[in-house]
Amino acid sequence: MGEKLLMKGNEALAEGAVRAGCRFFAGYPITPQNEVPEYMSWRLSEAGGTFIQAESEVAAINMLYGAAATGTRTMTSSSSPGISLKQEGVSYCAGADLPIFFANVVRGGPGLGNISGSQGDYFQSTRGGGHGDYRVFVMAPNSVEEMGNFPLKCYETAEKYRVPAMILADGILGQMMEPIEFKFEAIDPKQLKAPDWALGVNEGRPKRIVRSYDLREGALEHLTLSRAKRYKEIEDKEALCEEKMTEDADLILVAYGTASRVCQAALKMARESGLKVGLARPITLWPFPKKKLSELSARAKSLLVVEMSLGQMIEDVKLAVECRLSVHLHARCSGAVLTGEEVFQAVQGLLKKSKKGEALCSR
Amino acid sequence: MHQGVRISGFGGQGIISSGILLAYSGMLDGKHVSFFPSYGAEMRGGTANCSVVISSEDVTSPIVSEPDTVIVMNEPSLAKFEPLLKPGGLLIINSSLVNTKPKRTDIRTVCVPCNKIAEELGSAKIANMAALGAFAAQTQALSIEAIAKALPKVFKRAKPEILELNVKALKRGAEIN
């Protein structure tokens, strides 16, 4: 704690997970997240943990299932196509109430795509990704500092509600270097209370079962509904959103992750030219900060959603504001570089239209 | 103070390490910094470039799309990055390897014979330091001392005499007008 380090996002993510008590990592290489397993390969053995380069993504996620069943803090990471391969395992972990932690350092898609930063996996992350009725707690850092400090929040939330948790980053966040300060004391997992569902030595206690199925009549619905209560609680309590200059804003930009950094540049240009623009940044993508967005929609005249994807988060924004105001989109996709200048131009274009009375505001 | 910098050259010219060094120096100097490398499917001898931001305020986008300063270490980099420069921006050219003259008249150009300086000091590897020295002196964004302080932090395994050679190259670069 305290010391400022210059770290790569991927390395900060790995170091943050180890400091948060991760002692098991299994993964398979893919750009632009390779620094995560590379870092874990030496760092975990130093910390007394286990690193496995698995034979495939599918193997890696299923190794997590096993390790997490013992109550160990686990991690895997990959990039878009690799995360797709892991979705079956994530669904199994969700079905078995296992609090695994994983990170997606997103690249351009679909398909094999390219290795540039992108946000095309928003739907996959927030809508389930794998099969079945389940949710994953999703955090979206926008700096190296958050890449390093969010894993702890992910473990704590995952364990509290017994759900998988993930960090949705992108190639830019993974590859960039920035100063970072870890804001928590490193955790020794041996000091953590063993969960009352974890497998292990069962001498003197009733047996425990970790599984993602129940074939008895009506039993699975009962199980899923009890899990849904926890989802509701997460939605009520765990949504996070950052605001910048929204108090007097006519137009509010809505963006997460790298796109929110770019929007800060546009915000600065807009304010310098006297335009009343603000920024809302969802920090958790599921739960989506609906309440906050709804509040903001009562104040602003319009919203501009800025994404490095073809309009995915905008659906959640629209649901949150329930058509109370017009919601616009500025999108780049498949690894294209979004710039502050282009977002500023989009802002100018919208505000000009609204001046001419071209019904920006549909209230 | 705000400097968005793009550094570009061949793989092996120390482009990426120059960027990390600049960011590290800025951090030690109490500034807000970021570094972002090109990480395409590249190889030794291919092209490399990176973005560095050094600022007295929070860094917004880490990808510098309109740089205040461009450092070009080889010929192909000039054509690629000269057009991106902000009007009034600074172009630092490694005149040992770049023969073409810049086209723009709304920018300031400083020519540094980086490879010549490096060879005179006895190591071809330190050409990038001459360019960084010129950057520090021309922009005043960082002091030579700050970069010298960051050197052993970034090049952890370098011998003291090598680090000293790097500092000499920084100073030679800083003397160029």
B56 has a chain A CB within 8 A of its CB: no
| A4, A6, A261: residue with CB nearest B23 | A6
Choosing among B39, B52, B68, B153, which should be mutated to test the A contact, i.e. which has the most A CBs within 10 A?
A: B39
Q: For residue A155, what pLDDT band results from cuts at 50, 70 and 90?
A: very high
The SS3 of residue B25 is: helix
Judge whether residue B95 has pLDDT over 60.
yes
DSSP state of A213: -
Q: For Cα atoms B152, B52, B26, give the angle at the middle one, nearest 5 degrees.
A: 45
Contact B90, B108 (CB under 8 A): yes
Complex ipTM: 0.95
Give the other-Cβ count within 10 Å of A225's Cβ: 10
C-alpha distance from A233 to closest chain B C-alpha (Å):
34
For B20, name the nearest residue in chain A, comparing CA atoms only: A177
B102 has a chain A CB within 8 A of its CB: no
C-alpha distance from B122 to closest chain A C-alpha (Å):
30
Backbone angles phi, psi at A309, to 5 degrees: -160, 165
Judge whether residue A356 has pLDDT over 80.
no
Q: Report percent pLDDT > 70 for chain A.
A: 97
pLDDT at position A327 is: 97
Closest C-alpha to A303, from A356, A255, A337: A255
B41 has a chain A CB within 8 A of its CB: yes
Q: For residue A287, what pLDDT band results from cuts at 50, 70 and 90?
A: very high
Query: How confident is the model over B151-168, as a mean pLDDT?
Result: 96
Query: How confident is the model over A152-169, as a mean pLDDT?
Result: 98
Judge whether residue A345 has pLDDT over 60.
yes
d(CA A122, CA A309): 8
A115 has a chain B CB within 8 A of its CB: yes
Backbone angles phi, psi at A345, to 5 degrees: -60, -40
Choosing among A4, A6, A279, which should be mutated to test the B contact, i.e. which has the most B CBs within 10 A?
A: A6
- Classify the C-alpha dihedral A37-A39-A41-A46 as positive or negative: negative
pLDDT at position A353 is: 81
Judge whether residue A361 has pLDDT over 50.
no
Q: What is the mean pLDDT of chain A?
A: 95
Contact B27 A6 (CB under 8 A): yes
Name every chain A residue with its beta carbon within 8 A of the beta carbon of B21.
none
pLDDT at position A360 is: 46
Q: Which of residues 140-179 of A touch B (CB under 8 A)?
A: 171-172, 175-179
How do residues B56-87 score in pLDDT, each as one tens digit? 999 999 999 999 999 999 999 999 999 999 99
Contact B132, B23 (CB under 8 A): no
In chain A, at which residue ranges do the beta strands (DSSP E only) sit?
Answer: 5-8, 24-27, 50-53, 74-78, 101-106, 137-139, 165-170, 177-180, 241-244, 251-254, 277-282, 284-286, 302-307, 326-331
The domain containing residue B161 runs over which residues?
2-175
The SS3 of residue B41 is: coil
| A4, A171, A264: residue with CB nearest B27 | A4
Q: Which residues contact B113 (CB under 8 A, 6 or more apart)?
A: B94, B95, B96, B130
How do residues B32-42 score in pLDDT, each as one tens digit? 999 999 876 66
Judge whether residue B91 has pLDDT over 70.
yes
Q: Which two structure tokens, joined as six digits, stand for B6? A: 């793009």
Q: Which two structure tokens, joined as six digits, stand for A128? A: 């389930």
Judge whether residue B44 has pLDDT over 70.
no
Higher pLDDT, residue A354 or A75: A75
B20 has a chain A CB within 8 A of its CB: yes
Contact A261 B60 (CB under 8 A): yes
pLDDT at position B38 is: 87
Q: For the domain that residue B46 is a member of, what is the CATH number?
A: 3.40.920.10
pLDDT at position A363 is: 33
pLDDT at position A362 is: 39
Distances (CA, A) of B71 to A53, B7, B18, B125: 39, 5, 10, 17
What's the total number of domains in chain B? 1
Q: Which of residues 246-265 of A touch B (CB under 8 A)?
A: 258, 261-262, 264-265
Choosing among A177, A261, A263, which should be mutated to test the B contact, i.e. which has the most B CBs within 10 A?
A: A177
C-alpha distance from A190 to closest chain B C-alpha (Å):
33
B54 has a chain A CB within 8 A of its CB: no
Q: What domains are there in chain A, each with its CATH number?
A: 5-237 (3.40.50.970), 241-355 (3.40.50.920)
d(CA A139, CA A240): 9
Distances (CA, A) of B105 to A222, A350, B83, B97: 73, 34, 11, 21
Q: What is the mean pLDDT of chain B?
A: 95
How do residues A201-219 score in pLDDT, each as one tens digit? 888 899 999 999 999 999 9
Contact B86, B56 (CB under 8 A): no
Q: For residue B172, what pLDDT band results from cuts at 50, 70 and 90?
A: very high
How do residues A300-343 score in pLDDT, each as one tens digit? 999 999 999 999 999 999 999 998 999 999 999 999 989 999 99
Judge whether residue A358 has pLDDT over 60.
no
A336 has a chain B CB within 8 A of its CB: no
